[in-house]
Amino acid sequence: MKRNILCRAWRFYADGFARMTWGRGLWLLVLIKLFVMFAILRLFFFTPHMKNMDDARQADYVREQLTHPRQ
């Protein structure tokens, strides 16, 4: 019974994605947007502050940021 439900759900979504027309362009837009958000913005705006710190200094830094964040 469960396998039948899972198979039917899989076929439902596979058929839906196979018959998409303009939805494919929207999915492409979503993927490009995610790439920009996570790859490009991270490179330029979110520099790794803790890259050169050892574990103890990283723990202290995180603890300090959680208890007394900059405003």
Q: 4-58, pLDDT tens digit by residue?
A: 888 998 898 888 888 888 888 888 999 999 998 888 877 777 667 778 888 999 8
Give per-residue burial for 7-38: e unless 16+ CB within 10 Å, then b.
eeeeeeeeeeeeeeeeeeeeeeeeeeeeeeee
Identify whether the C-beta of residue 61 lies closer than 8 Å to the C-beta of residue 53.
Answer: yes
Confidence of residue 2 (pLDDT cuts 50, 70, 90): low
Give pLDDT, residue 23.
Answer: 81
| Cβ within 8 Å of residue 53, ≥6 positions away | 61
Q: Pick the more confident residue, 1 or 65.
A: 65
Confidence of residue 1 (pLDDT cuts 50, 70, 90): low
Domain ranges of the chain: 2-67
Q: Is the pTM of this model over 0.85?
A: no
